[in-house]
Structure 1
Amino acid sequence: MTSPARRLLLVHAHPDDESLGNGVTMAKYVAEGASVTLVTCTLGEMGEILVPELEHLAADRDDRLGQHREGELAEAMAELGVTDHRLLGGAGRFRDSGMKWDDNGHATAADVIHDNAFWHADLLEATTELVAVIREVRPQVLVTYDDFGGYGHPDHVQAHRVAHYAAALAAARSFRPDLGAAWDVAKIYWSAMSASRFRDGLRAIRATGDTTTFEGMDPDNLPPFVVEDEYLDAVVEAPEHVQAKLAAMKAHRSQITEDGTFFAGGMDMAAVVWGSEFYRLVKGVRGPVGASGLEEDLFAGL
C-alpha cells in the first residue's frame, strides 16, 4: 500500500489536549487525505472530573478514569476522522502525573506523584517508544507543546521533551536500528494561541457580562500559552471543520462541559474562539505565507 504523501504526527499528554489545540488541523488534513497520527502519553487518570455521575471514577475512589477517558478519546477521534491514535507504550504504560497550581498561577508538579507517573518516566525509555512510531509513520511534520507545556503542566513539559528527543534520535541511523530506518522530521511546530485573537475573544466574552470565564485575565494579563503574534509562524483555519472540533471537545465530557469555560458565550462564540489554530515553527524552513502573513499549511515548502 502506498503511504500518503503528507504525514502529520501529534504528541499530546492527555486525552482532550488534542481536540482543544489541534482539532481543526487534524480534521482538515484527514479530509484532504493526509495521514494523521496522534500519540497520547497518558490516559489522564488524574484529571478533574466535571460530571457528578462520573465522580466515582476518580483516582482516590475507583481509579478508573483512565479507562473512561480512553473511550472519550476514541469518540473524539471518530468525530475528527482520525483512525490512527495510539497511547505511548500502550495503555497504562505511563500514568497521568497530576498537578497543582503554584503561586504564579501556573501548573506544576503535585506534592505526591504516582510511581508510574509520566513526569517520573525515564526519558530515554519514553523517547524510545516514540522513536519507533516516528520511524514507522515517517511524518514530515510533528506538532507538540512548547518548552513550558503551554501552562506548566508536568506531563505537557515531559511530552515536549520526549517529542523533541525522539525526533532527534529517530534521525540517528546508529540509534536502535532495530526500530526501523532512520527518519528526519522536516518540520516541528509548537501549538500556540494568538495574543490578538485571545484579547478579542476575551473582550467579547466580557461584553456579554461574563466576568468568571478566564477569571483574573484581562488584555494586559494574558496566560503563558498565549503568544504575541510576531512570534507566530503558521495558522490553520478551516471553517468547514470547526463543528467537528467542537463535537470532539464535547466527546471529552468528563473534562469539558457545554456550560463551562471552553463554550463560554455559546457555540457561536466557541466557534470563533477555537476555530483558528496557531503554531510556532521551531525546526525546519518556513514555507510560503498566505494573506494572513503566516503559513496556512503546515506542509508549506515541503
Structure 2
Amino acid sequence: MTSDQRLLLVHAHPDDECIGNGATMAKYVAEGRGVTLVTCTAGEMGEILVPELEHLAADQEDRLGEHRKGEIAEAMKVLGVTDHRWLGGFGTFRDSGMKWHEDGHAVAADEVHENAFWNADLNVAADHLVEIIREVRPQVLATYDPFGGYGHPDHIQAHRVAMYAAQLAAVPSYRKDLGDPWEIAKIYWNAMSESRMRAGLRALRDAGDATSFEGMDPDGPLPPFVTADENLSAAIDAQEHVDQKLDALRAHRTQVTTDGPFFALSNNVGSTAWGIEYYRIVKGELGPLGEDGLETDLFAGL
C-alpha cells in the first residue's frame, strides 16, 4: 500500500463495516488514503432476509458464510476498497451467533460452535492481526467499543482482538517473525451521536414511521450503541458519499432490506443521517477541531 496515510478497520461480520464506517471508507478511498478492512468472521449465523436464500442458513445447508463472502466483495467494490482481509484467512473463525437478553441487548447464544470467534484464543487471534498491522502500518485504527455497540459476542471479541493486537504490534521483542514493530498513533471506537439519533428518530416519527427503530422514543432512553455527544471526538462528514454507503449496504442483501430502518432514516432525514460518522478517541492526541468541537479527520494532527 503506497498511501502515506492508512486507516485499518476491524469488524466482526460482513455488513458491519458499511453500517458504521461506509461513508468514511468511501471518502478516504476517494482522497487517496489507504483503507484496509479486516473482517473476523463470515457471518455464518446471520438471519437471512431473502426467502429464496433461506436454504443457506446454518440450520440447513450452512452455506451463508460463502454467500456473504460474495456480498462483502461487492460492497467493497462499491466503496472502492481494494484491501479487504479475513482474520487468519477465510473460515478461520466462525460467527458465534447471539440471542437477545431481556434487557434488550445481545448476548452469547446458548450453544456456540467449537470454532466460534467467541471461543478463539485471544493470543492466536491477535497474532493474526499483529501480522496485518505490521504489514500495513496504519496510523489510525477504528473498531468497536468494549460492549461491541450492542453486546454481540463477536463485536466484543473483535474489540478485544483489535486493542490487544495494537499493543502487541508495537513491542519490538514480540514475535519478530510477524514483521517489524509498528505503533498505531491513533485508535478510535465507532460511535453514534445521541443528539443526531434523537433528531433522526423525531423526523421518522413526525413522518408517520412508527416501525423503523421500533421501541425507540426520541425523548426516551436509547440503546447502548448510542454515545452521549460529550464523549464524541470526531465527526467525519462524508455526505457526498452517502449513496455509495447505501449502495454498499444493498450489496449485503441477505442481511439488509431496502425498506429497513437504515433506508427509512436516510429517506426522512437526508444524507446527514448516514453520511456523517462519529468516533471516540481511545489513543493519541486530538488534532485541530472543527466548529462543533470535534475533529473532522481521523488523521488530524498526524
Q: CA deviation at 1:267?
A: 3.6
1:83 maps to 82
Alignment of 1:1-302 (within 5 A): 3-218=2-217, 219-264=219-264, 267=267, 269=269, 271-302=271-302
Q: 2:240, 2:275 within 8 Å by CA — same for their partners in 1?
A: no
Q: Deviations over 1:237-269 (max 9, x none)?
A: 122111111110111000001011221256453
Report the Cα distance in structure 2 between the residues aligned to 1:171 and 1:273, rounded to whole angstroms.
Answer: 37
**1:284 partner amino acid:** G
CA distance in 2, matches of 1:208, 1:6: 42
The two structures have a TM-score, normalised by structure 1, of 0.98
Amino acid in structure 1 at the alignment position of 2:257:
T
Secondary structure at the aligned position of 2:192 is classed as: strand
Shift of 1:212: 1.6
Q: Percent identity?
A: 68
Q: Which runs of 5+ in 1 are unaligned?
A: none
User: CA contact under 8 A between 1:9 and 1:142: conserved in structure 2?
Assistant: yes
Structure 2 unaligned runs (5+)? none
**1:80 deviation in Å?**
0.4
Is the CA contact (8 Å cut-off) linking 1:187 and 1:282 kept in structure 2? yes
User: TM-score with structure 2 length normalisation?
Assistant: 0.98
Point out 4+ residue stretches in structure 1 off by more than 6 angstroms: none
Say if 1:176 and 1:247 are closer, same or farther in 2 by CA, change over 3 A. same
Contact 1:263–1:269, Cα closer than 8 Å, also in 2: no
Post-superposition shift, 1:290? 1.1
What is the alpha-carbon distance in structure 1 between the residues aligned to residue 25 and residue 164 of structure 2? Answer: 23
Deviation readout 1:45-98 (Å, 9 max, x if unpaired): 000101101100000001000000010000000000000000000111000000
Q: Give the secondary structure class of the aligned counterpart of 1:227.
A: coil
In 2 relative to 1, CA 270–46 (structure 1 residues): closer, same or farther, beyond 3 Å? farther
Aligned 8 A contact 1:7 1:139 in 2: yes
Q: Please list the CA deviations of residues 99-141 of structure 1 after superposition, one character each: whole Å capped at 9, or x if unmatched.
A: 0000110000000000100000000000000000000000000
Q: Secondary structure at the match of 2:271?
A: helix
Q: Which letter maps to 2:275?
A: G
Rate the CA distance shift 1:3–1:265 in 2: closer, same or farther, 3 A: closer
Matches of 2:147 and 2:45, distance apart in 1 = 20
